[in-house]
Chain A
Amino acid sequence: MEYLSMKNIKKSFGDLEVLKDISLHVNEGEVVSIIGPSGSGKSTLLRIATMLETLDYGEIHYLGEAAVEIVDGFSVYAKAKKLREIKNNFGLVFQNFNLFPHYSVLKNITDAPINVQKRNKKEVMAEAMELLEKMGLSDKADYYPSQLSGGQQQRVAIARALALNPKVLFFDEPTSALDPELTSEVLKVIKSLAEQHMTMVIVTHEMNFARNISDKVIFMDKGVIVVEGSPEEVFNSSNERMKEFLGKLQN
């Protein structure tokens, strides 16, 4: 089943055209990585998919339901109530974690399921402890975010996103604020999610990681998709821009 479909997405900030007719499709259980230089529009695409940013033109569907449709040539967002339902389908892990500093680790994870989704408190608590165990953070439940390393904070943020049981999980450069050691502990967690067939869209600068865990890789530059396909196809692509980008990385 197609979990996410984005069609003909266009977005400008003032005179700057950030996204020029981008389409993206993600199927159930698929891991899609988006790579490319800074300023290529990757993060904007993710922010549009998660509705932190509105698009200028295009269509977005989650599990076949229209979040944004084209009506008479204009993109129209679904009604607030419908949109809220649709937003239930995805979670987002930020580059800067954005944990709530005044909440303990456990409360960061459980507050939204209890107070937004109105789920049973005991059940949510038990699930949260399970998630923390998976993240290797069972002993940190009562800590505050500032008492944790960046890698630990990011793993809490992943647990927080997972606690809402999203169908699709987005990652916006999840390791860009971390040193190599901390990066590897976060990547390990994401990899294990991939092995459990979590549907994920990951914007990243970790090329080897993208290559190893993705079903599909998208290389973006200057607001367009330059190459897309399986990791082998993309990383062995003869496209000049792609080769240039990877070449610079190897140096």
Chain B
Amino acid sequence: MSFEVMLEQLSSGMLKSMMIFFLTLIFSLPLGMVMCFGRMSKNKIISGITGFIISILRGTPLMLQLMVVYFFPYYLFGWSIGGWRFPAIIVGFSINYAAYFAEIYRSGIEAIPKGQHEAAHILLYSKPQEFFKITLPQVIKIILPAMTNEIITLVKDTSLAFSISYIELFNLAQQIAAANTTMIPFVVAAIFYYVFNLIVSVVMRGFEKKLSYYD
């Protein structure tokens, strides 16, 4: 196999990995907020249940969760899971990452000094106004470094999709390597992941800079 053909194939694998990455972010960022609210709910039952779900999601391997999501329709209902592979990956990744994001959001929300809420209260901001105008902008600034960490991990974690035989970058590299008895595809894959993460960190640093207009 020529290097050009290999590069072309690996690029298509990279595209699939990026698809997992972006779709996971799109779904897990808001879902994490929902879980965070559940976790911080004054209702003991809601916060208890959400806390338990988050601990399971963070306490078991993502690879295993992907398998559960992929196979449960078949084992539970006997449904065919033919077209379910890619959606299952997005669902599995999104739920798992939402759990991590929920805890990061919570840490950010709890870091806002009580005085900020009291000031908002005295100035008669409504609850939604207080959250969106006062709390959230400050939370975003606080959690950005932790979010960068998590998002970089997600780029690399996309390779776990191979566990349910989805052909993304890593899986493809492995196949090409086995068929042609060469390590080159792994080197190329490593460079792809690295460059993508480099871009992610530059973008995130850009956000951080944008929010550094105040201390």
Which residues of A approach B to under 8 Å, CB–CB?
50, 52, 84, 87-88, 91-92, 94, 96, 98-102, 111-112, 115-117, 144-146, 160-161, 164
Contact = CB atoms under 8 A, between A and B. Distances in A.
A87 B115 CA distance: 18
A236 to B, nearest CB: 36
Given A101-B215, A145-B214, A146-B215, A116 B115 contact: no
B213 A100 contact: no
A162 B94 CA distance: 47
Interface in B79-130: 113, 115-116, 118-119, 121-126, 129
A101 B116 CA distance: 9
A53 to B, nearest CB: 10
Nearest to B115: A98
Contacts of A91: 122
B138 interface: yes
Contacts of B25: none
Given A102-B214, A160-B123, 9 more contacts: A52-B121, A84-B124, A94-B118, A94-B119, A98-B115, A98-B116, A112-B125, A115-B129, A116-B125
- Determine chain A's interface SS by DSSP, over half rule: loop
Contacts of B119: 94, 98-100
A197 to B, nearest CB: 22
Nearest to A163: B123
B138 A101 contact: yes
Nearest to A93: B122
B205 interface: no
A100 B124 contact: no
A144 B115 contact: no
A98 B124 contact: no
Contacts of B124: 84, 87-88, 112, 116-117, 164
20 contacts: A52-B118, A52-B122, A87-B122, A94-B118, A98-B118, A100-B134, A101-B215, A102-B137, A112-B124, A115-B125, A115-B129, A115-B133, A116-B125, A116-B129, A117-B124, A144-B213, A146-B214, A146-B215, A160-B123, A161-B122
Interface in B135-154: 137-138, 141
A164 B116 CA distance: 17
Contact of A92 (B116, B122, B133, B134): B122
Nearest to A104: B214
Contacts of B115: 94, 96, 98
